[in-house]
Chain A
Amino acid sequence: MFKIIKQLTSLATMFAVLFAFSTETMAAKKSKTLENTKKRGFVRCGVSQGLPGFSNADESGNWTGIDVDVCRAVAAATLGDATKVKFTPLSAKERFTALTSGEIDILSRNTTWTLSRDADIGLTFVGVNFYDGQGFMVRKGSGISSTGEFKNGTSVCTNLGTTTELNMRDFFDSRGISYEPVVFEKADEVVAAYDAGRCDTYTTDKSGLAAQRTKLSAPDDHVVLPETISKEPLGPVVRQGDSVWEDIVRWSLNTMIEAEEYGINSSNADMMKTSNNPAIKRLVGAEGELGAAFGLDNDWNLRIIKQVGNYGESYKRNIADTGILPDRGPNELWTKGGILYVPPAR
């Protein structure tokens, strides 16, 4: 009897151990995620449930936005086709679990890079594709022109599960103002409640405010206050533990930014192959072996630029031309007075 139990136990333990280790183990030189992506034939990308300019789907299900373009760039680099992406819309609450559990491989969902997120929960931030900051939107008729004019009892509508809730508390607490946080799970519900007059102000990242303002019944009756109460560097995130995949995503984004710096765009990329500047030649795969380090061919960066475009093109297409934030502000290249500065691709 005991023998049987013992055998059963050891068998089960063996299975348990095998199963546990088979799901994900060390990816030393090769990237397990890259291998799986190639096998699958598409990149699995987590995006928002609809934030114009960042990740938003039209009626026929085509996703656009600068967050979407990061995933498209990775697809162009790894699979050779920027359209081979499967987008999973995620709420703020679900996003990290979806990534750590392996449901998606890149989280590109206007996510703020903070210490605790980077260090605590099995995530790695690979860079910043949009420098944002939290602000407030109010009704024009209220006559409020700065955050200093908020009074005790102000009701504030916002989203669940974001750094917004913490910043909001820091802001009101440090000024000794009592406020009523009204926290919704989805952005559309926040907009509806604010529009109906439930709240005096709506707070989230300023880019978000600009985007959501377009959804209000009378966008021109509302104004975003000038103050920025927090730093919100938004960027793509990957799972901890696959450093090669992490590098691929990081350098796909960096390629887009550096391409803009050197004036390479989707239409002139092929011609740049014959450029005299070695830095440009490296960026279009005409010199060096940059892709080899990730296990990619040498045209990976050329494909990104040709199929997705450089960062400036992506910004113009998604954010400036849609009227969300025509002024690039800090998201301008460092050479033009902004803070976009990426390490050199060499």
Chain B
Amino acid sequence: MNNIIKKFIPQILAILFVVLIFGFLTLNAQTNMDNRGIDFGFGFLSQESSFDVQFSLIEYSGSDSYARAFLVGLLNTLLVSFISIIICTILGVIIGVARLSSNYLIKNSAAWYVEFFRNIPLLLQIFFWYYAALRALPTPEKANAWFGVTYMTVKGYYIPAMVWQNLSVFLYCGLAAIISIIVLRNYANKLRDTQGKQIPVLLYSVALLIVLPLLSFLFGGVSLEFEIPELKKLSKISYIYEGGISLPPELIALVLALSLYTSTFVAECVRAGIEGVTKGQKEAAASVGLTPNQVLKLVIMPQALRIIIPPTTNQYLNLTKNSSLAAAIAYPDLVLVFAGTALMQTGKAIEIVSITMLTYLTISLTIAAIMNWYNKKIEIKEK
């Protein structure tokens, strides 16, 4: 009995303390809101939003609800985070490996890159890319075509839109290619384990990925046409491209700033990871006759990844949260659309800010969960 009390009383008190503080805050907020005539509730989510958003991945207009405006903002946040995470990872790995290069020029350029981009505040970089780009880019009518059909202008990057016929057949072929690659890999692994034979899996995989979808064009009735952006006159001096897809300059500037900034941190993680694998591992691998490529792929990287993944996860989380700086340059992310315009129009500060906080929390926890799962997969399996 005495033991139980000793064991549980501190915990009960701790829980009670948390509950009381939370209760106190709620009660206080409620009383003050009552005094000031502010209602609390989430009913506004189904009301008509009556504002438009510049850029949206789903159909949206001012006659849709605030809940849909929330979704628009959320998807835009996810889009910019997703693209930036991919670019910063690729850049980060290249720069990180380059910092360990024995070539003086490569090594030092990489080091300069890292020191330069990670030591300038992100918001400044966002402003720089946005306003510098806006000032430097041509107006639509003066833009030169890149690759013949895309136009980089002050109003955005215009690219051709794809118009598909029988898209589903094409997608099925792609799926078939992926499944056959998985089967092939399993077969190759088995062959290596049982008979010691190596087959060039990568080469076959790439071939499969190209050939199967290509076949769908020849026999599956799939066709692809491009809708090319065309110049349209708005007034005497102002033009715009119509047709095709337009990527707003806000998105481009934000992706540039976020990925360049975060790639420096990823590069440092990669460098730390590779340097963290002891030299003996490399020498031992070389002494059993592995080629330098095999040493990197089969011995160094699997061990380095264990060191790289956890801090890189942090960088991904930071990047996602940093994307909320979008509001400064008019990219309609969750903060600008929902915690900005929607908050202003409804005045529901507490409700909207809590929803926004919970949303970022959910996104971050999801990314962390995915990365933890990946980390589990590659960590040392003790038998």
Contacts and interface: CB of A to CB of B under 8 A. Distances in A.
Interface of A: 1, 5, 8-9, 12, 15-17, 19-21, 23-25, 92-93, 96-97, 100, 116-117, 120-122, 138-139, 141-144, 149-151, 153-155, 157, 160-162, 165-166, 168-170, 172-173, 179-186, 189, 192-193, 196-198, 200, 239-241
A167 to B, nearest CB: 10
Nearest to A143: B236
B344 A198 contact: no
A129 B328 CA distance: 30
Nearest to B326: A185
15 contacts: A16-B23, A21-B31, A24-B36, A117-B347, A122-B37, A153-B232, A160-B327, A161-B340, A166-B51, A185-B336, A185-B340, A189-B330, A193-B131, A196-B135, A239-B36
B134 A100 contact: no
Given A169-B50, A180-B248, 9 more contacts: A1-B9, A16-B24, A142-B238, A153-B240, A165-B345, A189-B329, A196-B131, A197-B154, A240-B37
A192 B250 contact: no
Contacts of B31: 17, 20-21
Given A120-B347, A160-B336, A20 B28 contact: yes
| Nearest 6 Cβ contacts at the A-B interface | A121-B347, A161-B344, A20-B31, A143-B236, A122-B36, A142-B235
Contacts of A160: 327, 336, 340-341, 344
B32 A153 contact: no
B343 A12 contact: no
Contact of A154 (B35, B52, B234): B234
Interface in B168-221: none
B32 to A, nearest CB: 6
Interface string B34-65: 01111100000000001111100000001000
A184 B330 contact: yes
Nearest to B55: A180
B257 to A, nearest CB: 15
A198 B38 contact: no
A184 B329 contact: yes
B249 interface: yes
A165 B37 CA distance: 26
A249 to B, nearest CB: 17
B350 to A, nearest CB: 9
If over half of B's interface residues share one DSSP class (helix, strand or loop), that class is named, otherwise mixed; here it is helix
Contacts of A184: 328-330
A165 B28 contact: no
Contacts of A121: 38, 347
Contacts of A239: 36
Contacts of A181: 51-54
Contacts of A93: 340, 343-344
Contact of A151 (B53, B154, B235): B235
Nearest to B234: A151
A186 to B, nearest CB: 8
A24 B32 contact: yes
A165 to B, nearest CB: 5
B161 interface: no
A185 B134 contact: no
Nearest to A200: B238
Given A122-B37, A161-B343, A165-B341, A196 B134 contact: yes
B356 to A, nearest CB: 13
Contacts of A186: 328
B167 to A, nearest CB: 26
A24 B35 CA distance: 8
B124 interface: no
Contacts of B332: 183
A255 to B, nearest CB: 27
Contacts of B237: 139, 141-143
Interface string B91-130: 0000000000000000000000000000000000000000
B131 A144 contact: no
Contacts of B53: 181
B330 A183 contact: yes
Nearest to A97: B349
B155 interface: yes
A271 B234 CA distance: 61
Given A122-B36, A143-B235, A8 B16 contact: yes
Contacts of A193: 131, 134, 330
B162 interface: no
A200 B50 contact: no
Contacts of B250: 182
B369 interface: no
Nearest to B21: A12
A25 B35 contact: yes
B60 to A, nearest CB: 12
B330 to A, nearest CB: 5
Contacts of A172: 52
A160 B240 CA distance: 24
A173 B62 CA distance: 9
Given A193-B134, A197-B154, A153 B242 contact: yes
Given A162-B344, A169-B62, A12 B24 contact: yes
B139 interface: yes
Contacts of B28: 16, 19-20, 23
A189 B328 contact: yes
A179 B20 CA distance: 51
Contact of B134 (A117, A165, A183, A197): A197
B27 interface: yes
A183 B54 contact: yes
A151 B240 CA distance: 10
A212 B53 CA distance: 24
Contacts of A120: 38-39, 346-347
